[in-house]
Structure 1
Amino acid sequence: MWRASSITGRRRSASWCGVISHARFNSSFSLAAGEASFLEAVDIYFDKAAKLAASTPDILNQIKACNNLLKLQFPLKRLDGTVQLIEAYRAQHSHHRLPVKGGIRMAPNVEANETMALAALMTFKCAVVDIPFGGAKGGIKVDPTKYSPIEKEAIIRRYTSELVKKSFIGPALDVPAPDYGTGPQEMAWIKDTYEQLRSDINGSACVTGKPLEEGGIHGRQESTGLGVFFCLREFFTNQEYMKSLGLDLGIKGKSFIVQGFGNVGRHTSTFVQAAGGRVIAIAELDGGLVDETGIGLDIAQIQRYQAQNGTISGFPKAKTVLETSHLLELPCDVLIPAALESQIHAGNATRIQARIIAEAANGPVTPAAEKILEERGVVILPDLLLNAGGVTVSYFEWLKNLNHIHFGRMSRRMEEHGKQEFLNAIEHQFGNGHKLSEDVRRLLVKGNTEADFVSSGLEETMLVSWEKVRNTAKQRGCNLRTAAYLIAIERIATCYRLSGIFP
């Protein structure tokens, strides 16, 4: 038997709430007395920006409210014959644009308020980078490391079937994606289950983050980390910020500490190192690494070691630290929390020595910690913008699935042919008998692949959004997070006003 229940009620300060390869890090610590929960933190950040918005209270209340929260409970028969009751959620925060979009996580601490908070962040994140989705989030309350692949598949397929029954999934309704504890394989199971239950020509667009063979897109795995890097790169070219922090322009030579070496942390570290940055420490749940050479950790070697051993702990070319919480407090130019929410809080904010915090995770800095850090002159690059690369490329994957053709298929050879003809004409007219080498010619005539389109589209999205956030912060006299929330609020409010629901 299964039981799905709808929960109604109020969340704090909201008008109403209707029907109801991964970084590993501890999120079970207790916040200091009086410090906001994750959901309350999102509300606090929202309220701070709402005071600067021109929208009326009724629109603000609607933007803030979680529209739908679905709670599911269903049985799982385990391989040892026992039956376990699985608890799961799917929150749809805003339907101002459809479909709603957001990941599905598998973690033992999943609960309703966390799911609603993450769904709200997705709403605002999509609005900041001008992606036409509402926000959603899902969670299954299990530790995926304690289940066999067969058991995980059963959980994912049952969860998906329940979402289908409740119309909480579909290419035009609600499109999940990977999150903490899930990846391409789980997304493939979701796609297959949906297509078994629904005859839909656009069925592959019901979920993103899929393997390439199942309709995924080149560049999705590294997209969040690459988006973080693009924003960091632009931030370090800003003379005003660098002067205020006493830093030289550019990433080269700057020191970085990364918390979480999952998909986001790994790729962010790779791009930072390629740009000349030094990753001096990595913190993971089961052990961290500290560079003792002064030149930075070798990210590629650590990735190979992790792939072989299932952990970064014990990597021979760095010092292993078992108690990793203090690694966040080491001196560095940039601290990149790329794990879970509320990792920097009132209890450790006074000991953070980074000059810049780049939020690659969702909600890693609590409001109390933000106040402490900003009073000390620390600049925080907010999650709403910084980690939006994942949903941006998910949008590209969704478009690819709806169009039933990969990017570049209709244009790449035509583009290469045109370039060939152009070079031939140049050589004939001005070459005086000289011809380009084959290597140079091959480089110049190369047509754009899907990966090229994705990278270019992501860069354009992140750079335009960064410029908008930076200018808004300067014009409105607020920090970057408040500016990002304000942009999101005003864009969503415009949707509601144009709909005619609100005056």
Structure 2
Amino acid sequence: MAMFMLKGGLSIVAPSARLCAVAGSSSRFSTAVEVSATTTTAAKTIAVPTGHGTAVEQGDPTFLESVDIYFDKAATIASATPDILAHIKAYNNILKVQFPLKCANGTVELIEGYRAQHSHHRLPVKGGIRMAPNVDAEETMALAALMTFKCAVVDVPFGGAKGGIKIDPTKYSANEKESIIRRYTSELVRKSFIGPSIDVPAPDYGTGPQEMAWIKDTYEHLKPNDINGAACVTGKPLEEGGIDGRQEATGLGVFFCLRDFLDDEALVDKLGLTTGIKGKTFIVQGFGNVGRHTIDYIYDAGGLITAIAEVDGGLVAECENGIDIPALKAYHKKMGTITSFPGAKTVKFAPGILELPCDVLIPAALETQIHSGNAGNVKAKIVAEAANGPVTPLAETILEGKGVVILPDLLLNAGGVTVSYFEWLKNLNHIHFGRMSRRMEEKGQRMLINALEAELGNGHKISHEVRSQVVKGNREVDFVWSGLEETMLLSWENVKRISQERNCNYRTAAYLIAIERIATSYRVSGIFP
């Protein structure tokens, strides 16, 4: 057992590490920079802190140990027996592959990849594939476990998995990346680690729709008799069987939960806040797929984005109205970076931005970004975990001691896997949502308007503007957003209820829901043989 000490004598006991390698990728956001940056707003000058090292440097648990700590905390109040809890916690399969890549310059490079399958209580298992230079077995295992519990919390019928390829994708050509992805996929096929009913990957850090299209094409070439081959992977381009709404799904799920929390007067009163997103200040770490879409929805709802942290630097608003997000998006599209955006102050040390004052802090990048070294300086009232594992257990203890509310990753960023579930169903059904119903809905709506006009009499006609608003059948994206909102809000209500009933924080409540659902699955299905 490993004990992690906090100031003031508090401690957290963690299970023994199963692997010694440092997990996560905190170095991308937590590497010290010698420059101390300051920025001026209309009201005052704000010094951006220069950081407190990485989580590991501070002596925090590793990412994998953190997942174990959170699980064990919930397990103490779960009804499941110790033997079932041990079964839930265990990892079923872990695959490591190594294969050669012939680079464009003629050299041969050895590529290393992983795929972890945490739980088979539901099949297929589900989880993204990331490409990053710090991918390792421990990180992949931790992320796979989170996927198991995340799916259970939002009642998506998948087990948890995760994959990774240990490369920096920015240093490889498109052709080289395609070769890597295709060879990695072929290794998964050979080991039966991919398939619509076995294991369904998705995008993650460093991968996107293009990589998923290569995975699908490779699988279908190697498994030509699988009529459901398109369902072997999600997050694909629309043209390759993807689903409308998948790109923004995680960010929209974050927004739905945040909106519901901030609309709850009883909850926000305790934090000294008024209800609603409008006028609240937000700091977001990460301007990738999750962070960017989260920012979009918050901005559209009237929230003020006062700072954004990225890998190569950060931005701090210079006026009370926050950063002009439409202008920033146009700049980012043109320049490929947010740094030096003329509408805000650029700072060189992005991690220090996490310590600036705001109402809501949203880490939407990588794990272990808030740790015992910087948690004491976080000034947000709410930390909304859009990333996987951004807050270490030591940091959680510090933050909660200051009255900060943490909305956990297990719930908050489950929008991505929820819509991946919808895409998987679409591929299995071989038909997009709305194809059989949209025109029928519009026909019914027209009949209703015609009946209303007839009832009103005297030649009364509904205006063309009103008619066009009413006669509107549901598109695929309408079904997706409706299903996502239903899933996220129902899951949030469950987490909130369990938190109140069991007198625990939201993270423990989410883990408890997951544990009980998985334990029920094992009790009902039994243990084979």
Which residue number in structure 2 is paired with residue 138 of structure 1?
A: 163
2:509 to 468, 483, 486: 483
Give the secondary-structure state (helix, strand or coil) at the position aligned to 1:335. strand
Q: Which amino acid aligns with 2:29?
A: N
2:154 equivalent in structure 1:
129
- Is 2:419–2:480's contact at 8 Å kept on the other side of the alignment? yes
1:296 CA displacement: 1.2
1:202 aligns with 2:228: yes
| Alignment partner of 2:278 out of 252, 257, 280 | 252
1:366 aligned partner: 392
- Structure 1 runs of 4+ off > 4 angstroms? 11-16
Does the residue aligned with 1:332 lie in a helix, a strand or coil? coil
* 3-state SS of 2:381 partner: strand
Identify unmatched segments of 5+ residues in structure 1. Answer: 1-10, 17-22
Residue of structure 2 equivalent to 1:20: none
Task: Select 1:164's aligned residue among 169, 184, 189.
Answer: 189
1:26 aligns with 2:29: yes
2:60 to 35, 48, 52: 35
Match of 1:394 in 2: 420
Question: Quick check: 1:400–1:406 contact (8 Å CA) kept in 2?
Answer: yes
Equivalent runs, 1:255-270 vs 2, <5 Å: 255-270=281-296
Mapped contact 2:55–2:371 kept (Cα < 8 A): no
Q: Cα RMSD between the aligned structures? A: 1.7
Q: How does 1:278-357 map to 2 (within 5 A)?
A: 278-357=304-383
* SS at 1:110 equivalent: coil
Q: Which residue of 2 aligns with 1:416?
A: 442
Residue aligning to 1:458: 484
Match of 1:364, SS? Answer: coil
Provide Cα deviations, 1:187-222, integer angstroms capped at 9, x if missing partner.
Answer: 000000000000211000000000000000000000
- Contact 2:58 / 2:372 at 8 angstroms: preserved in 1? no
Which of these residues, 284, 293, 300, is aligned with residue 274 of structure 1?
300
Count of residues paired in the alignment: 487
**Which stretches in structure 2 are left out of the alignment for 5+ residues?**
1-13, 20-25, 32-53
Distance change in 2, residues 1:191/1:145 (3 Å) = same
What one-letter code is carried by the residue in structure 1 that aligns with 2:181? I
Residue 233 of structure 1: aligned partner: 259
Deviation at 1:272, TM superposition (A): 0.3
Question: Which residue is equivalent to 1:107?
Answer: 132
Closer, same or farther: CA 281–431 of 1 in aligned 2, 3 Å: farther
**1:439: how far off?**
1.5
CA–CA distance in structure 2, aligned partners of residues 273 and 381 of structure 1: 20
- Residue 178 (structure 1) aligned with residue 181 (structure 2): no
Shift of 1:324: 1.1
> Per the alignment, do residues 245 and 74 of structure 1 end up closer, same or farther by CA in structure 2, a change over 3 Å counting?
same
Q: CA deviation at 1:108?
A: 0.3
Q: Relative to structure 1, is the Cα distance of residues 307 and 320 closer, same or farther in structure 2, using a 3 angstrom cutoff?
A: same
Moved more, 423-432 or 227-236: 423-432
Tell me the equivalent position of 1:64.
Answer: 89
Quick check: 1:385 aligned with 2:411? yes
- What is aligned with 1:152? 177
More displaced stretch, 476-485 vs 316-325: 316-325
Aligned-residue offset at 1:431:
4.2
Q: C-alpha distance in 2, partners of 1:145/1:153? A: 13
Aligned partners of 2:177 and 2:121: how far apart in 1?
A: 33
SS in structure 1 of the partner of residue 359 of structure 2: strand
CA contact (8 A) 2:248 2:293 kept: yes
The AA in structure 2 aligned to 1:452 is D
The CA distance in 2 between the partners of 1:298 and 1:451, in whole Å, is 27
Q: TM-score w.r.t. structure 2 length?
A: 0.90
Task: Give the match for residue 37 of structure 2.
Answer: none
| TM-score, structure 1 as length reference | 0.95
CA deviation after TM superposition for structure 1 residue 301, in Å:
1.6
**TM-aligned CA distance change 1:301 to 1:203, over 3 Å:** same
- The amino acid of 2:241's aligned partner reads G
Structure 1 residue 32 displacement after superposition: 3.5
Counterpart residue identity of residue 281, structure 1: A
Q: Cα 1:492–1:13, aligned 2, differ >3 Å: closer, same or farther?
A: farther
Q: Is the 8 A contact 1:25 1:339 kept in 2?
A: no
Alpha-carbon distance in 2 for matches of 1:168, 1:361: 25
1:24 and 1:260 in contact (8 A); partners too:
no
Q: Does 1:218 align with 2:221?
A: no
* Residue in 2 that maps onto 1:79: 104
Amino acid in the other structure paired with 1:481: R
**Could you tell me how far apart the structure 2 residues matched to 1:69 and 1:202 are?**
25
Shift of 1:325: 1.3
Cross-structure match for 1:5: none
Distance 1:24 1:233 in 2: 31
Alpha-carbon distance between aligned partners in 2 of 1:280 and 1:402, rounded to the nearest angstrom: 43
Cα distance per residue 1:287-337 (max 9 Å; x no partner): 111111110112122112111111000111111111111111000000000
Structure 1, 319-328 or 113-122: larger mean CA deviation: 319-328
The aligned residue for residue 7 of structure 1 is none
Q: Map Cα deviations across residues 330-353 of structure 1 (whole Å, 9 max, x no partner).
A: 000000000000000001001100
Distance 2:183 2:299 in 1: 41
What is the CA–CA distance in structure 2 between the aligned matches of 1:27 and 1:137, rounded to whole Å?
24
Q: 1:458 to 1:401 in 2, by over 3 A?
A: same
Q: 1:34 Cα shift?
A: 3.5
The AA in structure 1 aligned to 2:66 is A
Amino acid at match of 2:115: R
Separation of aligned partners in 2, 1:399 and 1:218: 13
CA distance in 1 between counterparts of 2:18 and 2:335 reads: 49
| Native 8 Å contact 2:55 2:370 kept in 1 | no
Query: Percent of aligned pairs with the same residue?
Result: 72
Greater displacement, 289-298 / 247-256? 289-298
Taking structure 1 as reference, are residues 113 and 431 closer, same or farther at Cα in structure 2, changes over 3 Å only? farther
Aligned match of 1:428 in 446, 454, 459?
454
CA contact under 8 A between 2:196 and 2:233: conserved in structure 1?
yes
- Is this contact kept in 1: 2:306–2:316, CA < 8 A? yes
